[in-house]
Chains A and B, each alone.
Chain A
Amino acid sequence: MSTPAAGSNPARITSEVVAKVAKLASLKLSEDEITLMTSQLSGMLDHFADIDKLDLENVVPLAQPFPLKNVFREDVIVKGLDRDEVLAAAPAAEDGRFRVPPSSGLGEQ
């Protein structure tokens, strides 16, 4: 099902990679959507390849487009949300907690 996008370097991205990323992001894509995304993502990667060709030896990598750093708040407690109000908005709650279906996701901790 590998379908290199027309006009792009076929090595940039395959439909398998697109399908895998979609699965990791819990997106259900049809075959047609995968084909379309593969083509569009290949176009984007072509653009990055163009940037790669530039001489960027003396350019500092940009972590963030804003000219800001060290934005902090002080360690002071501010009243948050009311539990009953929040749980009333949830699909299900029990015992002061959110009740959720058993996850098939991949957990940490």
Chain B
Amino acid sequence: MTSHVTTSIEPSGIRWQSILPIVAVLALAGLGLVSSDYIVTVLGFAFIYAIFCTGLNFFMGYTGQASFGQSAFAAIGGYGSAILCTDYGWEPLLALLATMVLSGIAAVLVGYPTLRLRGHYLAMATFALGLIVYEITIEWTALTQGYMGYSGIPPLGIAGFALDTLKHQLVALVVLSLIGVGIAARLRQSRFGRALASIAGSESAAQALGVDIARYKLIAFVIAALYASAAGSLFAHFVGFISPEIYGTTMVIQSFAMLYLGGIGTMWGPMIGAIIVSILPEALRGLKEMQDIAYTAVLIFILIFAPRGLAGLSVLFRRAHGRVQEKA
């Protein structure tokens, strides 16, 4: 199986290419802060999804595995935060961290048997996982209030200090998503990240090099679950309301559209994809009803014609740039 992972290791030292996306993100966030609440909401969703996709990218892009059920962990995060905060009066930030721990444990328990699977079976098993949690959120009404959903979830905050306005929350989401990308980038360049890349390249070769494949896959899966859980919690706090559909199959497809559009296996791809896919339907107003159809159409188009996404363009650019440098 071929992988999308570029095995080249980024040279150390800060280059303008690595600063540029941060500047762009901050500029976009700044633009959002002077706009209407509606645009702030759209951008907020974009950055929540950016966190979700960065985690998914860790497992799919870097490690070359597949999980079609990450929405399960977002649901654990979202419902965990909702229940802990509204019914038990927990601090939102504490609830977010507690549900992340819960999702991590769930990921270990589920991942240990599941990740031994390959190909279609891995895909179907993880897909089943997402569906199981989805069905539970609908049917276990005593816990989740079923289709009614949970409302009145407090905004993010700690120790009486709450982010009351949408704009404050947007700032927090931008900071958190940048931290998320930063952690993922650091992990990617570590010994651990290189081991994951070797698994993506060839499992048997990685094994021959002494990489404990099962363990590394599991850790990557858990990291992806932690990101998904955090994104789920943040969604609950940002919107103040959750229902089963939010963490359904649409979330899976939407996040894949973002991941593949931005460029799977790249550092900034997930965030770029999340921002573009979130803004696109808002830009094309008439699309509202057709949103899901547009997502799936975009996803299928990219999968067929540009499986490397927009980040593939930057590789082309870098290659050209490198050639110029060689000549000079």
Bound pair (A, B): no
Q: State the B residues within 8 Å of A (CB).
A: none
